[in-house]
Copies of this chain bind each other. A is one copy, B any other.
Amino acid sequence: MTPADAAGPDRTLAVGELARATGLSVRALHHYDQLGLLSPARDGGGRRRYGPAEVSRLHQILVLRGFGLPLAEIAQLLDGTVVDPRELLRRQLEQAEERIAAAQRVRTTILAVIGALAPSGNALAPSGNGAGPSTGQLIELIERMIIMDQKFTPEQFEQLARRRREMADQLTPEEFTRLQERRAEALSALSPGQLAELQHRRRQLLPEQTP
């Protein structure tokens, strides 16, 4: 027994223990080690041993990762190099708000599509009349909902949804297909410039921009 072994109980964790404790994978901890983000000491056999300092640092890593920061930036932050924290907060706030807005647009559109698919009130029934809507019809609907979303207020939108439901009820599948074909033709007849404009408008709606 060497003097170094004479200390108290081991307050250190093996990689598997830490993984179980944090819900991370062992591989993730290996990864952090490779990056130099979290490099524990090694025991005689070369096995990783995480002490209080490492546990605490991992703690901080997880907090920052929860904010959506890339690991490289987390490393910079924790090592005190570069980066203005206030600037960082601003950026993360912006990104969070963009994510909220984008996801809300998707949510609104999906809800509208579900509503339009349920003329009799139950869109989620296990296919009462056979196969359910075709993919083509679905995409048609989605596109229309996206266009609707910003041209009308929710009230107008509700009105239109009702009308659309009535119309859809009267269309045969053949008519629906023809409608889609006419639409594809109209689109393909656009000049590149017109197409660019249309796509530009579309892009303004989908990825960014706070409503």
Interface residues, chain A, with chain B CB atoms under 8 Å away = 11, 13, 17, 20-23, 51-53, 55-56, 59-60, 62-64, 66-68, 77-78, 80, 83-86, 89-90, 92-93, 96-97, 99-100, 103-104, 106-107, 109-111, 113-114, 117, 123-124, 127, 132-135, 138-139, 142-143, 146, 184-185, 187-189, 192, 195-196, 199-200, 202-203, 206-207
Contacts and interface: CB of A to CB of B under 8 A. Distances in A.
B184 A56 contact: yes
B195 A86 contact: no
Contact of A107 (B90, B96, B106, B195): B96
Contacts of A77: 135
Given A20-B196, A22-B196, 11 more contacts: A22-B199, A23-B203, A52-B187, A80-B135, A86-B124, A86-B127, A86-B132, A89-B113, A93-B107, A96-B103, A100-B103
Contact of A63 (B84, B92, B142): B142
Contacts of A132: 84-86
A76 B63 CA distance: 38
